[in-house]
Chain A
Amino acid sequence: MAIARFLHTADLHLSRPFGFLPPQLAEERRRDQRIAVTRIAELAIEKNADIVLIAGDLFDNADPDPTDLEVVTKELRRLVESGKRVYAIPGNHDPNAGATCWKSIAACGVHVFLDTEWQTEELADLGIRVCGAAFHKGRSERRAFDGFTLPDGAPCLLMAHASYELYEGQMEKYHPFSAAELEATGASYVALGHYHRYNQLAGSVTACYAGTPEGISFDSPETGDRFVVLGEVGDDGVVSIEQVKVNRRVMKSAEIDCTSFESQTSVFDAVRLLCEPNALMDVRLIGSPNAEIVGALDDIADRFKESCLYMNMDLTGLSAQTEIPVDDRTIRGRFCKYMLSQIDETDDPEKKRLLRRALDLGITAFTEG
């Protein structure tokens, strides 16, 4: 029998600039993030969660936009007023130091663990304890669970914005922890934040990264469906969890090798297969198709405007075939040889990239004519 239900989310990264998107779409994504906050609040109410855990990086920076702060405070207040116990910890993006947002959050009735040392909140009516510690900006290398002692008695829900060492992610030096350290906590559930993909860690202690509720980049941890964690604490202290999809849009990233394509139509078909109406797409074309195909791909992104929400087509990985005959003495051939020799001669990767692009442009110019 469940003694308490909880909802765990993290890494909402509100007020993200989304500088990789056109401004209008970036604004749309920020709106999606705000909608995600509302969806999560509604989900907590709908599923009768007693506790809501926000495991860090609620905001993308310590000085979030008023629009975002307004929505967050409104939804959190709604949760608190509906009887939910809401707990939050600052993450590496929105650390407590210098942040004014946490004051507003705390004013909604949310318990924010602002201390970098472990604190315990006892929910006597539920027979649950919630423990949390804020991200320590000045000592991010500190082991995640240093100083934590499991309180006696009631089941414990632990909140940490930390890096699991066995998880392949970025910035793994932020409050790292090992499988053994996780086991040693003895907590009933560890609500984790920092890594952006949903991931339930293996081991006897139930621990989970909820991931971002809306993808915030085209990096692999951000792509695909996004989730929050719904959990139940049994009267034996054992926690069972399920993942619930919450994203409104999906970020998709793909790489297509065009070397073997005979025509641009083949490239278009390959891209079309990936498209989804609700997706933001980042497609990188690579390989060396013939120059004629390369020359026809400049406006390829425009072709898929209607097939998905947004298409970013990266053609920088594409290079026209330059397998010119050794003795090609034409100006075109000598241009290719000249450019290749220039590329070979430079050690500067950026210069190489520039010259490679110049070669493609030259070949295209010779071909298009």
Chain B
Amino acid sequence: MEITELTLSNFRRFASQRFDFIPGLNLVWGPNESGKSTVYESLCCALFGRERGGSYESWAGGSPSVGLAYTSDGQAYRVVRQLTAGTSRFGVTNGDDLSDITTSKDEIAERITAHLGLSSRSVFENTVSVRQTNLSAPAGAELESVGAEIQRVLTGTAHLSADQARKDLEGKRDAIKGRARPTKPREYDRISDRLTKLASEVADARASRDQLRNLEEEESTLQARVDQDSARLTVVEGLLEKYKRWAELKQKNDQLNAQHEASFSTLREIRQTEEDLALVQKELEEHTDLVGKDEEIQEHLAKIAWRREELQSQLADVGFPDKVEHAAIGKGKWFANAVALVMLIIIAVAGGKGWVNPILLGAIAVVVLVALVWRFWRFGARNSGGRKMADLADSFYEDLVELDKEEQSILSYVKCPDAGRAVAKIKNYQTLAGRAREFEASLKGLLAGRKREDMEAQEAELARELSGIRRELDDDFRDYSPTTEESESWRSEVAALQNSVPSAENRLSQVLGSLSSERSHAKDMAALEGELEFLHRRRAELEFTYKAYEEAISAVATVTDAVSREYLPELSERATNYLKQLTSGRYSAVTVNPGWDVSADCREKTAVRSALLSQGTLDQLYLALRLGCGELLSAGKRLPVVLDDPFPAFDRVRLDNALELLKQAARSNQVILMTHDPHILDWAKSLQAAGQDRCAIHELASPQL
């Protein structure tokens, strides 16, 4: 790149200024405050844009702008930057025309750095561009050694070296995790600790949740079992109750039935007996005359009979055994005579009238006559006994008559025609009375001291009860006929259920208690899982970032090592050439070793460490290394060298050496040198006087006094 023109408008002290630069040496000379550093900064501003913190406002007012024209590989370019508006315009120039225009800052930067051959402002300002300051203390550098500074230059950053960048990365990496300060763990470690605890909490919560589910399941199962068993218990208890009732009813029925039957039978017997008794008593009512006299009468009659037998015996003894009979016949003689007379009259009438066959009448008359004959014969015999006997017999007969009268009196009392009937009546009475007594005794036995009404009431009660039982049996137990085995099965089932249901209820109660406790302690899984997920993701992010840092650190180290191996020998060689020239050969070699230690060999001592060098020599060493770095980094491109009063610590000899070096450099590179040093102005003028056409001088006006 060769800068051809720099145009300033309202740029600090310059209201409007144009500098035309030639390809060789350009000297911008002026005293203090003439604007040399402004030219330097405007040039950097034109190339790389506004510097952070840079201040470019015009002293006279107006919007500052800077324009820069340059050529690269035979092509002319121009960039114009309006610094207040922050806009830039870049394009290819052809005369006054501007083509291939871009206003993209990124694109402009890309194209300018490509033409320049250096990647950034910092690289430019750390190599071939030197601000008005001590060479050994370049802008922003806070490095301990020249080597570190050179590494920074080669790193291409404004403020730090690759090693510092690596350390910065390592610091940030280590801020993620690591237990360098156990009292204050890193985020990653805090998360890991929390995750460890959380894993335990989650496991506990899951176990608790599982326990809760198990308990719920058990509760559900138990509840179902309790419900089912309770229902079954109710059913089986019902069955058993029914059976018991049935058995009880049956037993009671049998008992009552037996009782009732016995009661009923007794009552029936009583009733029968009473009926019988009533009948007997009714019959006895006909014998009221005999009540209490039957035996007397019986005895009396027996005595009469006995006396009669005795009298008849005595009659027999006196020869009139049949006196009684005779008397009886005597009594009947008149009756027979009357009958025979009546019959004879009837026969006579009948015969006279002819009503009956005469033969038959004759026969009847014969019979009657026979009968009359037999009667006379019979009574004729009696009259043959003695008179005494007859009187005795008459006495007897009188006794007999008395007896008959007595007997007749009794018979009259008992209303019987004869003694036989009277005796029979008495016997009948006595039989009835005996039966009545038997019935009464039987009745007494049946009642057994009870009242008949009570017995009837009891029987009625039994009948009622029995009826109720039978009705219940009919109503509730129709066709009900469980077997004993069934009832035993129910009984054992009830016993088992009565045992198992309370046991299950008890367990259910325990489970409900545990459930309540577990529920009150149950943690919300969502919160734990959410935190777990969040922390895992955050830790993964940190892990990722940690690994990314490690990759970056490794890459920085790798690249730094590569650069060290590739660049440092060549850098040492180039710096050696420059330092040798600058120091008139006093320093014969510059070495930058792979550890980035810089040393120089001088005539008295080899490998003098940079820290031991004088300020002037150190500046010269820096200049040599910077130019070497610029050549290395530009990869053969011809770089403009821009220096703003770079040699304040140089003595005259080494200043001349440096000017000679610049003169030589100007043969291939553009050199723009700002200085207030009259010696340098004189040197440049001498060059011009010697016909050096690659030297231009821009003298700046002195500031107003």
Contact = CB atoms under 8 A, between A and B. Distances in A.
Partners in one complex: yes
B534 A19 contact: yes
B555 A338 contact: yes
Contact of B527 (A23, A325, A333, A354): A23
Contacts of A60: 526
Nearest to B217: A100
Given A325-B113, A330-B155, A361 B530 contact: no
B154 A331 contact: yes
A200 to B, nearest CB: 31
B545 to A, nearest CB: 7
A38 to B, nearest CB: 18
Given A362-B552, A369-B157, A331 B560 contact: yes
A118 interface: no
A290 B551 contact: no
B117 A361 contact: no
Given A20-B533, A323-B106, A330-B119, A63 B213 contact: yes
Given A334-B563, A361-B169, A23 B526 contact: no
Contacts of B406: none
Contact of B552 (A26, A27, A323, A361): A361
A338 B559 contact: yes
A149 interface: no
B549 A332 contact: no
Interface in A335-367: 335, 338-339, 342, 354-355, 357-362, 365-367
Contacts of B626: none
A369 B525 contact: no
A175 B271 CA distance: 94
Interface in A1-46: 15-23, 26-27, 30
Contact of A335 (B213, B536, B559): B559
A326 interface: yes
A262 interface: yes
A346 B457 CA distance: 118
Contacts of A103: 220
Main secondary structure of the interface of B (DSSP, over half): helix
Interface string A159-196: 00000000000000000000000000000000000000
Interface in B534-554: 534, 536-537, 544-545, 547-552
B527 A26 contact: yes
Interface string B544-584: 11011111100110111011000000000000000000000
B679 interface: no
Interface string B508-536: 00000000000100101111011111101
A354 B156 contact: no
A87 B678 CA distance: 100
A328 interface: yes
B216 interface: yes
A352 B671 CA distance: 45
Contacts of A67: 524
A152 interface: no
Given A329-B635, A342-B555, A369-B165, A15 B524 contact: yes
A262 B533 CA distance: 37
B141 to A, nearest CB: 11
B85 to A, nearest CB: 12
Contacts of B92: none
Nearest to A327: B635
A147 interface: no
A138 interface: no
B644 to A, nearest CB: 23
A316 to B, nearest CB: 9
A302 interface: no
A328 B282 CA distance: 163
Contacts of B123: 330
B106 A324 contact: no
A334 B529 contact: no
B114 A325 contact: yes
Nearest to A355: B551
B110 A354 contact: no
B532 A365 contact: no
Contacts of A68: 524, 526
B209 interface: yes
A239 B545 CA distance: 55
A23 B531 contact: yes
Nearest to A357: B548
A325 B552 contact: no
A66 B119 contact: no
B438 interface: no
Nearest to B551: A358
Nearest to B523: A65
Contact of B117 (A19, A323, A327): A327
Contact of A365 (B117, B154, B165): B165
A66 B524 CA distance: 7
A368 interface: yes
A97 B135 CA distance: 81
A321 interface: yes
Given A26-B530, A369-B159, A15 B551 contact: no
Contacts of A262: 86, 105
Interface string A282-307: 00000000100000000000000000
A335 B534 contact: no
Most chain B CB within 10 A, of A321, A362, A366, is at A366
A331 B527 contact: no
A64 B577 CA distance: 81
A100 B165 contact: no
* 6 closest cross-chain pairs (CB), A and B: A19-B533, A330-B156, A369-B160, A17-B530, A358-B551, A357-B548
7 contacts: A63-B213, A324-B119, A327-B117, A339-B555, A357-B545, A365-B166, A365-B172
Given A20-B533, A367-B157, 6 more contacts: A65-B527, A328-B119, A338-B559, A354-B548, A357-B544, A359-B552
